[in-house]
Chain A
Amino acid sequence: MTDTQAAPAPSPPEERPAPRKAPAASGRRRARGENLAGYLFMSPWIVGFLLLTAGPMLASLYLAFTDYNLFDSPRFVGFENFTEMFSDPRWRKSVQVTTSYVLVGTPLKLAAALGVALLLNKPRRGQGFYRAAFYAPSLVGASVSIAIVWRALFSDDAVVDRSLQVFGVHVGGWIGDPDMVIYALVALTVWQFGAPMVIFLAGLQQVPRELYEAAQVDGASAWRRFRSITLPMISPVLFFNLLLETIHSFQIFASAYVVTNSKCGPADAGLVYTCYLYEQGWTNLRMGYASAMAWMLLVSVGLVTAVLFWSQRRWVHYEEDVR
């Protein structure tokens, strides 16, 4: 890629005035031709959107209010699924597990990403090598292979356990321990800090050098320079990373499912939301209940997104003139 925009704020394609060379009649024909070509080119996307996104969204909204086992026709039950959900202890547990995973994992991951990005920001020999090497885990982290590795590393008397014993910490394996299993999952997401790190690096490259030089002349300390220049200048990138990482964290499935040996245990300690959704939908064939759960997830993620967007007025600093 030739351009590395720091935070690609999705701007709509710029409108450009139609070239006014031809007289009006052929201009209209031209516009009609443009529309036809546009819809022709967009047709796969439009079909996909209607068939696989918009249609299913409406369908699951309907299913959320039904009792449906995939074979008999759906039976309308009103708000029953939702009332059951709020009194379902396992549903509450899955919300709690997912929330703590998001609240602990996302800040740690972003902190690691920003820390290493700051370390790599100065142009030095081997910079490209380091950047690529740190990015590698992001490519494989979601795979079943790595989940298996995690299970092995965090089991009783394995590498992590023994390494901690060297420091006098005796917690045993994390995978079989209801109090610790969530931290094994957090460690797995933090391990994949490379993706946000790469975006932070692109953002750091955009900070004008003369700001630092001026601050240096004024005798600002390194911490002060970070607080007053770096952080505000990269806050849009930080916001972008925070938004995406949060949305993705809510949707953790494969790693939790495999690390906990397809049971999301022990004792539901690893029961992330999607794991419970899968169990209700495909193990118990309660598609209506699972749809209601999915919509609760959508509403929650929507709320979190809205709160983040609302908060950005307070801490995200957008340059008036983008260089």
Chain B
Amino acid sequence: MSALTHPARRRASRSVLWHVGALLVLALVLYPLFWVIGSSLKPSEDIVGGLELFPTQPVFEHYRKLYDGIADIPVSTFFVNSLVLAFGSVAGVLFSCSLAAYAFARIDFRGRNLLFSLMIGTLLLPYHVLIIPQYVLFQKMELINTYVPLLLGKYLATDAFFVFLMMQFMRNLPRELDEAARLDGCGHPRIYWHIMLPLSRPALITSSIFTFIWSWNDFLGPLLYLNEPDKYPVSMGLKMFIDQDSAADYGGMVAMSVLALLPVLAFFLAFQRYLVEGAATSGLKG
């Protein structure tokens, strides 16, 4: 009996030790996120110097001040713009990347391997090689200050990462399904629409959430292409705060930052399994 309890007790104490270690690392890692939430409830003068995470007397003035908007633009405008861009991006990725993924996974066309290599090549290509000529292109088409430059690529499957992710998933679906459908006289369009898309739902969800979050966080695109504040997404609205350069007024900035983080964190909490699994499968960018 005692011979049994001894290793068990040692195991239990090691497990406690492990949890203590993991929680310490976790506290360090999540500190900035708690800090920003706590600071948005502090009076302005306590934000930078204060070491306590949450104020004893929370103040909501920073959020109340956001009601007045930033530089005469209501904060809701930025959020609506961000949502338009994010949902527009999701629709584009679902449409174009799933088509390409299906072709790579299930259609035996000539030159498939060449196109596949080109697609993988674009994954390793630094994006900044393209921004200047793309900008020139959109400028010549008089599309600066519209959302077209920010969305067009999503509808043309330029996000190779999602093509790859969906293709991996589709290739693992049993072939018997579409073989049977083909014998019944279904063509590729119907197989894609009625069989593959419904079955690929996990890959489509993962791609949608990543697309939403990346679009929501995107800063370089709007910075280059948008020059009217009422078209700005949240990321650029935040930048306007910085440009006002009132270094002392962290209050409004921090409150706005919290609002900007909320949708991403909500998505994360709701879909964390998809996100982590998706990142593990192909792990690009995170």
Residue of B nearest to A1 (CB): B277
Q: Which of B144-180 contact A (CB under 8 A)?
A: 152-153, 155-158, 163-164, 167-169, 171-172
5 pairs of residues in contact across A and B, judged by CB atoms under 8 Å: A8-B281, A41-B192, A48-B157, A140-B261, A281-B132
Q: Which of A122-138 contact B (CB under 8 A)?
A: 122, 124, 126, 128, 130-138
Please pick, from A282, A294, A297, the residue contacting B224 in the complex, using a CB distance under 8 A.
Answer: A282
With known contacts A158-B49, A254-B219, A56–B133 Cβ distance under 8 A: yes
Q: Binding site of B, secondary structure by majority: helix, strand, loop or mixed?
A: helix
- Per the CB 8 Å criterion, the residue count for chain A at the interface is 107
CA separation between A209 and B215, bound complex, in Å? 41
B254 and A63: CB pair below 8 A? Answer: no
CA separation between A264 and B279, bound complex, in Å? 31
CA separation between A194 and B124, bound complex, in Å? 21
CA separation between A63 and B133, bound complex, in Å? 8
- Besides A1-B277, A148-B254, 8 other CB < 8 A contacts? A1-B274, A70-B139, A120-B22, A128-B273, A138-B285, A281-B131, A291-B133, A305-B124
B285 / chain A contacts, CB cutoff of 8 Å: 138, 195, 244, 248
Please pick, from B126, B188, B264, the residue contacting A139 in the complex, using a CB distance under 8 A.
Answer: B264
Q: Does A55 contact B (CB under 8 A)?
A: yes
Query: Interface stretch among A32-40, A86-94, A211-219, A224-232?
Result: A32-40
A136 and B108: CB pair below 8 A? Answer: no
Query: Interface stretch among B24-32, B55-63, B67-75?
Result: B24-32
Shortest Cβ gap from A306 to chain B (Å): 11
A159 and B35: CB pair below 8 A? Answer: yes
With known contacts A13-B104, A55-B133, A145–B279 Cβ distance under 8 A: no
Q: Binding site of A, secondary structure by majority: helix, strand, loop or mixed?
A: helix
A148 and B238: CB pair below 8 A? Answer: yes
B129 and A297: CB pair below 8 A? Answer: yes
A262 and B242: CB pair below 8 A? Answer: yes
Please pick, from B39, B99, B117, B216, the residue contacting A152 in the complex, using a CB distance under 8 A.
Answer: B39
With known contacts A135-B276, A254-B220, A48–B29 Cβ distance under 8 A: no
B120 / chain A contacts, CB cutoff of 8 Å: 10
Chain B interfacial positions (CB closer than 8 Å to A): 15, 18-19, 21-22, 25-26, 29-30, 32-33, 35-36, 39, 47-49, 51, 95-96, 99-100, 102-105, 107-110, 112-113, 115-120, 122, 124-137, 139, 152-153, 155-158, 163-164, 167-169, 171-172, 187-189, 192, 202-203, 206, 213, 216-217, 219-220, 224, 234-235, 238-239, 241-243, 245, 250, 253-254, 256-258, 260-261, 264-265, 268, 272-286
Q: Does A144 contact B (CB under 8 A)?
A: yes
CA separation between A321 and B48, bound complex, in Å? 56
Residue of B nearest to A8 (CB): B282
Top 8 closest pairs, chain A to chain B, by CB: A38-B109, A195-B286, A48-B156, A138-B286, A145-B257, A56-B133, A41-B103, A59-B133
Over the window 149-171 of chain A, the binary record of Cβ atoms lying under 8 Å from chain B Cβ atoms (1 yes, 0 no) is 11011010111001100000000
